Structure 1
Amino acid sequence: MTGSLPLRAAPRAPRGLAVPLILPGAIDLPKDSRPRIYLAPIETRLDLRILLASLSRAGLPVPRWVPSTRAKLADETLRAAFLAGEPMLVPLSPPRSGPDRLARLLAFAQQAGVEVDLVPAELLWGPVERPPSLWNLPFGNPYDPPGWTRWLRLLRRGYARVVIGAPGTRTALEAESRAQGDKLALSTFVRVQGVKALSLAQRQVFGDRYKVPRLLAEQILGDSSFQDQIAAAGATQGLTRDESLLRGDRALRELATSHNLFSMEIFHRFARWVYGLAFDPHIDIDPGELEKLRALGRRAPLVFIPSHKSNCDHMALYSLLFSSGFPPPHTAAGINMSFFPMSRILPGTGAYFLRRSFQDDPIYKESLRGFISTLVQRRFHQEFFIEGGRSRSGKLLPPRYGILNYIVDGARRNDISEVLFIPTSIAYDQILELAEYVRQNLGDEKEAESFVFLLRQIRAARARKLGRIHLRFAEPISLREYLDRSGDDRLVVEKLAFRISNQINAVTPITPVSLACSILLGAGKRALGEAEFRAQAARLVDYAHERGIDVTQEVSAGAESALRCATDALAGTGVIERYAGGVEPVYYVTEKGRHAASYYRNTVIHFLLGRAIAELAMRAAAADAAGRRDARGWALRLRELLKFEFFFSDRESFAREFEREQQRLARESAAGLTPILAGCPRILLDFIESYWVVAETLRTLRSSGEPTARSVVLRRCHELGRQLLLQDRVQSPELLSNMNFGNALKLLENLGAAEKDGERWRAGSPERLDELVADLERLIALARS
């Protein structure tokens, strides 16, 4: 082997530059003269001198040779010096180009058959006792100070220290690599182990929440199996192996986060400030749940899967976890959030931006798969929204399988025995973006996220207080249970997604606003007197307690407390009005406020869905003179019609749930209890009416015979819906909803009543369409009664 390496003689390091040196607990570093390699991230010449001085003062062997950008040392000279026991210092990160110093030194040792001590070391800057604040911004990152400020900060006692990670030896690491079946080059494997050792040492200084990834892209790119997969993906596009690996490198560096302590601290404070403008900064959470999760996180990687109703979701969860001592999870964020300043801040906190569409880019897809697989392998916590985007309807959206699929695949590939999924409900007393959602459901285009958008959101948050944020964690779901049951990853992912979504719904609390809106919408357009309103609230609270449904503190305090909080919160919003000009005050949902009220009702409608379906099915069976279906048959028909709106269990479980609701309704009727308006069939009316409008719209378009663009179909649905409302042929203004219309198109296609050609639609089978319309008309009439 001939050539040279970019190394030079170590510079002189005055002892006055030495800082405290922290050794790994209960480990003695060997001080003999066998070859030694220090692996360290060196940012500046000053950092190098501080490291050398600190090692010297601690009595440890000081590197004789250090990295250089210009000077080069001939291989033979270097080999002789290294094997003679002269310590070497090499960068922790591999070179982007040129010779790899670490790989060459390890090759020398392997050829000579000698042992080598591998010692990770790092100079850590930053305060320990007092975390940084926004006041630090003008002076730069305190954990990575600008060059000129390093000298000033060095004068501050306790502001810098050198940490030594747990050392290893060449032979031990070679054996460990072989035992794990690792396909990384030895130099890459050594670096990965060094990173892990330094990460542990860093957490001992700054705390567990500062667990940050390093060299992720390098570890992935160094895996020969990953290289083969990228090459195979590129071959499908006619790319050479080198071209494919270059694209894979770019994709990985786009995904790999640049965690840094300063960004994590600053975003925590920024997030708390932003959501604190509109909401109580103290999130409603059971501290016991956090303690339980903290204990679980020490033995297994956690995957937080929150509901997604607001742009405040991630900020609230991040701030809560960070302030509770959790390391920030790696978070999948939409590319739409990659605008200044979020594009600079979020990657430093663990967020990575996903391209909106990458189905036609197999290299990016494989890079994302490899990235998530490595996160699983290295047991980092993760976070993603299973719904994909924010819910504009209040209901939980159908799950997207992409990220979940990659996590399951990563666990299988790496033989990870335990991954814990944490379904998380984030509920709000009121939604900051509600007016925006209503406009979008009525046909307006979604505003693109930008810096101006962020400023507008902040200004809206400052306009008025919106109550509290309620965060609930469901029971953790172990991936092991599902992997043990089935070898088919597709079935595993589908079952997992269904259970995660159901558990998010199950722990969503009923808030005062959702309670009040559910009751008043259940009454239709009829106003409720104060006494009846209070009685209905009491019935719903009792029903929630009977079924073990979570409620917020204000609802738990009783019906009067809940209604007072709801009416106070919605005062002046135009959603609920109180008329006191008659004998008794009455409450009602305004015409313009029905979309907003339906959003709040939809956040908890899943608790009342089975009850409403059971009652409507019994009405339909009683009115079915031809005896086409019994009550159970009509319940199953409703399940089929609403399957794109709600999460239903399998047919047998659903039938058992239907029978339980039947029995509960019979008991309540026998006891003379007042029916619960919030759970009556009327709560299904806007969905069924929306579907009917879509079916009638496709009927009117049938004559043309040509498929119609989706945007035109939606516009025609809104036009027909408004006409039918004016004619009083439909009764729910909230039926005018792009979300409902979109789900109706999916149903019609599924039933063969509509056909889709790309983004264009046409009516399908006339018989199927007519049958559907007849059933919808029958159910609408019964739901109104």
Structure 2
Amino acid sequence: MASATSVNPLRAPLRRLIAAWTQVRLLEPAPEALGLDPDLTTLYVLPRSSLSDSLLLDVLARQQGLPDATLPRHLGDHTLPAQLSLPTTRRHLWQRRRGPRSPFRAVIEAHRDTGRDIQLVPVSIFWGRAPGKRFGLWQLLAADSWRLTGRLRRLLAVMVNGRDLEVHFGAPLRLAELDDGREPSLTDRKAARLLRVHFRRMRSRVLGPDLSHRRTLIEGVARSEPVRRAIEEQAGHSPRQRARLTQRARRYGREIASSMSYPVLRFLDGVLGRLWNRLYDGVDARGLEDVKPLAGECTLVYVPCHRSHIDYLLLSYVLYAQGLMPPHIAAGRNLDMPLIGPLLRRGGAFFMRRSFRGKALYSAVFKEYLHRLLNRGHPLEYFIEGGRSRSGRMLPPRPGMLAMTLDSFLRSQREGGQPLVFVPVYIGYERILEEASYQRELAGGGKRKESPLALLRVVRRLREPHGRVAVNIGEPLALDDFLDRTRPGWRDDSLDAAPPEWRRTAVTELGETLARRINAAASLNPVNLVALGLLATPHHAIEASLLERHLALLASLGREHAFALPPGEPADWIAQTRALGMLEHSPHALGDLVTAEPAQATLLGWYRNNVLHLYALIGLTAFAFRHQPCHTLDDLERLLAPSWPVLVREFAIAPPASLREALADTLERLAEQGLLEDDGDRWRRTSSLTGEEQLRMLGRLMQPPLERGYLLLSVLLGEAPGHFTRDALTERTRQLAERLGRLTGRDSPEFFDARLFASLVQNLEAEGWLRTRDGRLYYGSRLREGALRGQTLFDPALRHRLQRIARHAQA
């Protein structure tokens, strides 16, 4: 019987050559995780008959302690090869068919004659797909792709990409579970079909769907029904206008469409590998094991937080390095600049204009292009925040791309498309490249246009330290499960007319859910921990020993909610932040001091906001003890209930099922840390000076958002309902916050960022505290009562200062 291990006198020397020449960069899963039964006969299955793959499998089996891949297996009177390969489905007339047409027939007969079970292990091998240190013309030509590989090209792959290998073992397939007693030929075809599906899914996971010709894709978009309908609506009965608009649709398609290329992906992998090694001390990728099983079966849509231009390059690199196909990335048209734009386009970027308003044809072309990407199973990536966060916190989700994705999914389900899964991604930096531009923009400076010259200015900073970066995968969200849970009966809605009525609210809920899952994947690092501690001091100065104790407290309290904690001790975290130039360390005879200059404090505020949501309820609870030494659980719940839902929306955190239970748990945790004492039916502030200071510092974490809310409500309630529009209320409150910041020495641009107040107004509307009519904001007694209850959180001195500032606005 022909097989992948047919007798060959040259096999032993060739195997030694392969062992010496090749190096596996990625092997998944680990051999011990395969779950092989040592008492069963093991046969390996390759997707095609290939001497190089067979020899490499021989070598790997010996190196990894797996069952031998060379020696035949003896079952009774049957002798089976250690390796099998699926039959080729296509061949040229002049080529002899390689391998048997029924590769599993003899295996099935041996199983039936002996009654012994056999486990089949599928093995996928990719030459030149995994990242390596070298890249060049020959490596690019020889890398694996969807194209069929001939002998000459395979030889070239072994020669130039032998040290860039990726090997994936599939879950063992038990023949006893597969054999249903039918004709051996039928069982043979069933096994071949199952394994062929497995190999196709693995190839799709690693290489992505087959990349069709860009020109063909654009032509298909231009001739699609939705685009033709948009053309006819604008052209009317004019053939000349119809032809002109068709040409314009093709031009839009060329402007939008990516031109992803495997050689360019490999080139970018080499370039980015060198960039990360120079720029960062390391990239920590966590949670991808939950994504890999989905990659071959679902359309994946990655939705990262957007903190830096590096985000999309970093995520693509991590996915490529981990054996997943990099996604097509929605990028702003401003990045389609000379030199940079063509390279990004070939790396998977497709470009979109900031606004589709008044551009019906452009909108139709873009939506159709997006639908074709998703319907073909290409992984996709876009930022639901719309733009980069200049404040460091998660911005409210924008509905545009989410709505188009939902529409495409509903359309594809009607056409029998595959499931779609959103993959939330949190990216956390210890230092970002854009810190100077963010500070300038928060201070009122205009946003500079991206250009190649701006890129050259960034290149000069590559020699500066930037610490480590974390890429954390949040909990994936299957879109059909989300709709089943929130919109039962969605499958029965007709999609022939306008989008369903529930789409708008569903998109809003989808964006909020994804934002919460992104934030839930946040991890703590030395910089954001130091920022949380140092910025909670009145003058951004603290004794080094007290800061170390407080950092240990923050790490302990954040352990339950953070995705990961930094290694080392608090003293190491302070030293790391100092090495990045974000604080000053001053030796002193009575104890060393840690301080931050105004510019450093502003910068630290950005990193604090990355993870501030992890401490929202802890900080709010601690703030309640600011001027009241004790509370019962009932009093605390009544006091915090009005503020909590608004903070939940502001910080994009998943609300607990019960605020009362969450408060009880928080009080217990603060008591365990020695900051509160259980005094029977009430909780009391600790009598320890150190504990009281730490409790006060925790409370200051939530003081800025609470002060902003107090100012906004004071301004709003100072006038009759309907007096303010959204923009007027936002601008008036922003001016007051800026005045308060300057009077209190807290001249932080982030404190009076207009976008925070605009978001606060939206959150109050979403919670039903405000309603809009004819562009004006109206409120009722519920808002007045909530504001009166919430103001008791503030001590009299702070309340008087805020009221004085608010009265100044009405004067």
TM-score interval, smaller chain: 0.5 to 0.7
What residue is the counterpart of 1:373 in the other structure?
371
**Pair 1:647-2:660 in alignment:** no
* TM-score (norm. length: structure 1): 0.65
Match of 1:590 among 597, 620, 626: 597
For residues 182-227 of structure 1, give each alpha carbon's deviation from its aligned partner in whole angstroms, at most 9, with x where no partner exists. Answer: xxxxxxxxxxxxxxx9xx9999799736853433334444544653
Closer, same or farther: CA 232–27 of 1 in aligned 2, 3 Å:
farther
**Pair 1:681-2:742 in alignment:** no
What residue is the counterpart of 2:250 in the other structure?
249
What residue is the counterpart of 2:419 in the other structure?
418
**Pair 1:284-2:278 in alignment:** no
Match of 2:618 among 611, 614, 620: 611
Q: How far 1:425 sits from its partner (Å)?
A: 1.0
Q: Contact 1:441/1:739 (CA < 8 Å) preserved in 2?
A: no
Q: How does 1:33-182 map to 2 (within 5 A)?
A: 58=95, 136=137, 158=156
What residue is the counterpart of 2:217 in the other structure?
216
What residue is the counterpart of 1:735 in the other structure?
751
Partner Cα distance (2:367, 2:554) in 1: 46
Match of 1:544 among 537, 541, 558: 558
Q: How far 1:473 sits from its partner (Å)?
A: 0.9
Q: How does 1:664-675 map to 2 (within 5 A)?
A: 664-665=669-670, 669-670=676-677, 674=691
Closer, same or farther: CA 268–159 of 1 in aligned 2, 3 Å:
closer
Q: Contact 2:317/2:326 (CA < 8 Å) preserved in 1?
A: no
**Pair 1:493-2:507 in alignment:** yes
**Pair 1:262-2:273 in alignment:** no
**Pair 1:26-2:87 in alignment:** yes
Alpha-carbon RMSD: 4.9
Q: Which runs of 5+ in 1 are unaligned?
A: 1-20, 31-54, 61-125, 145-153, 161-196
Q: Contact 1:210/1:261 (CA < 8 Å) preserved in 2?
A: no
**Pair 1:561-2:572 in alignment:** yes
Partner Cα distance (1:438, 1:245) in 2: 45
**Aligned residue type for 1:680:** L
Partner Cα distance (1:262, 1:599) in 2: 37
Closer, same or farther: CA 622–29 of 1 in aligned 2, 3 Å:
closer
For residues 433-477 of structure 1, give each alpha carbon's deviation from its aligned partner in whole angstroms, at most 9, with x where no partner exists. Answer: 122212211111111111111111222233x11111111112322
Q: Contact 1:681/1:783 (CA < 8 Å) preserved in 2?
A: no
What residue is the counterpart of 1:309 in the other structure?
307
Q: How far 1:330 sits from its partner (Å)?
A: 1.0
Q: Contact 1:132/1:265 (CA < 8 Å) preserved in 2?
A: no
Q: How far 1:331 sits from its partner (Å)?
A: 0.8
What residue is the counterpart of 1:443 in the other structure?
444
Partner Cα distance (1:376, 1:782) in 2: 57
Match of 2:337 among 330, 339, 348: 339
Structure 1 residue matching 2:585: 3-state secondary structure: strand
What residue is the counterpart of 2:181 in the other structure?
none
Closer, same or farther: CA 211–319 of 1 in aligned 2, 3 Å:
farther
Partner Cα distance (1:650, 1:395) in 2: 18
What residue is the counterpart of 2:494 in the other structure?
none
**Aligned residue type for 2:436:** A
Partner Cα distance (2:585, 2:130) in 1: 53
Partner Cα distance (1:236, 1:579) in 2: 79
**Aligned residue type for 1:508:** A
Closer, same or farther: CA 724–543 of 1 in aligned 2, 3 Å:
closer
Closer, same or farther: CA 769–452 of 1 in aligned 2, 3 Å:
farther
What residue is the counterpart of 1:191 in the other structure?
none
What residue is the counterpart of 1:456 in the other structure?
457
Q: How many residues align?
A: 606
Partner Cα distance (1:640, 1:238) in 2: 57
Q: Contact 1:302/1:381 (CA < 8 Å) preserved in 2?
A: yes
What residue is the counterpart of 1:100 in the other structure?
none
Q: Contact 2:252/2:365 (CA < 8 Å) preserved in 1?
A: yes
Structure 1 residue matching 2:446: 3-state secondary structure: coil
**Aligned residue type for 1:401:** P
**Pair 1:468-2:529 in alignment:** no
Partner Cα distance (2:130, 2:715) in 1: 66
Structure 2 residue matching 1:483: 3-state secondary structure: helix
Q: Which runs of 5+ in 2 are unaligned?
A: 1-47, 51-84, 98-126, 144-151, 159-195, 491-501, 679-685, 800-811
Partner Cα distance (1:653, 1:239) in 2: 64
For residues 81-129 of structure 1, give each alpha carbon's deviation from its aligned partner in whole angstroms, at most 9, with x where no partner exists. Answer: xxxxxxxxxxxxxxxxxxxxxxxxxxxxxxxxxxxxxxxxxxxxx9899
Closer, same or farther: CA 749–293 of 1 in aligned 2, 3 Å:
closer
Partner Cα distance (2:589, 2:384) in 1: 49
Q: Contact 1:635/1:658 (CA < 8 Å) preserved in 2?
A: no
Partner Cα distance (2:482, 2:387) in 1: 26
Partner Cα distance (1:370, 1:602) in 2: 37
What residue is the counterpart of 1:479 in the other structure?
479
**Aligned residue type for 1:364:** Y
**Aligned residue type for 2:456:** L
Partner Cα distance (2:386, 2:237) in 1: 28
For residues 674-712 of structure 1, give each alpha carbon's deviation from its aligned partner in whole angstroms, at most 9, with x where no partner exists. Answer: 36559722112233444566778899999xx999988x9
**Aligned residue type for 1:284:** D
Q: How far 1:391 sits from its partner (Å)?
A: 1.0
What residue is the counterpart of 1:11 in the other structure?
none
Structure 1 residue matching 2:447: 3-state secondary structure: coil
What residue is the counterpart of 1:428 in the other structure?
429
Structure 1 residue matching 2:354: 3-state secondary structure: coil
Partner Cα distance (2:610, 2:455) in 1: 25
Closer, same or farther: CA 335–781 of 1 in aligned 2, 3 Å:
farther
Q: How far 1:558 sits from its partner (Å)?
A: 3.4
Q: Contact 2:639/2:793 (CA < 8 Å) preserved in 1?
A: no
For residues 128-175 of structure 1, give each alpha carbon's deviation from its aligned partner in whole angstroms, at most 9, with x where no partner exists. Answer: 999897765xx999699xxxxxxxxx9998489xxxxxxxxxxxxxxx
Partner Cα distance (2:601, 2:549) in 1: 22
For residues 736-773 of structure 1, give each alpha carbon's deviation from its aligned partner in whole angstroms, at most 9, with x where no partner exists. Answer: 43443544565688899999999xxx998899999999
Q: How far 1:313 sits from its partner (Å)?
A: 0.8
**Pair 1:517-2:531 in alignment:** yes
Structure 1 residue matching 2:470: 3-state secondary structure: strand
Q: How far 1:660 sits from its partner (Å)?
A: 3.5
For residues 218-256 of structure 1, give each alpha carbon's deviation from its aligned partner in whole angstroms, at most 9, with x where no partner exists. Answer: 444454465346645877999976555444433333322
Closer, same or farther: CA 752–613 of 1 in aligned 2, 3 Å:
closer
Structure 1 residue matching 2:391: 3-state secondary structure: coil
Structure 1 residue matching 2:650: 3-state secondary structure: coil
Structure 2 residue matching 1:528: 3-state secondary structure: strand
Closer, same or farther: CA 234–775 of 1 in aligned 2, 3 Å:
farther
Structure 1 residue matching 2:285: 3-state secondary structure: coil
Q: How far 1:265 sits from its partner (Å)?
A: 2.2
**Pair 1:636-2:625 in alignment:** no
